[in-house]
Amino acid sequence: MSGVAATIKVMPENVETDLNALKQKLREVTPAGAKVNGEIVEQPIAFGLKALIVTVIVEDGEGGTEGVEAAYESTPGVAGIQIMEMDRL
């Protein structure tokens, strides 16, 4: 089975959201079988709001990134997520 690298944009609830704490939470809730690859990068959006760009590596099996997506969407402080890019390794 091969792996998949997925780049995910995580939108915080508002500009007051502590991005460093949110980065730590995202690392903690990343499910077993997936791992955060490299640093979580802040991307300016508008009016002081910044998105977090997370690259995760998951096995290309049943469900793919669904577990990661569900974990991130249910994390306190997250308004929503978007898969930006997905590549087979």
Per-residue pLDDT tens for 14-31? 999 999 999 999 999 999
The pTM of the full predicted model, rounded to 2 decimals, is 0.92
Furthest-apart CA atoms within the chain: distance in Å: 43
53 Cβ contact partners less than 8 Å away, ≥ 6 residues apart:
7, 8, 9, 10, 40, 41, 42, 43, 84
Helix spans in 13-79 (H): 19-29, 66-73
Dump pLDDT digits (tens) for 38-88: 999 999 999 999 999 999 999 877 668 999 999 999 999 999 999 999 998
80 pairs with which residues across the strands?
Answer: 11
66 Cβ contact partners less than 8 Å away, ≥ 6 residues apart:
none
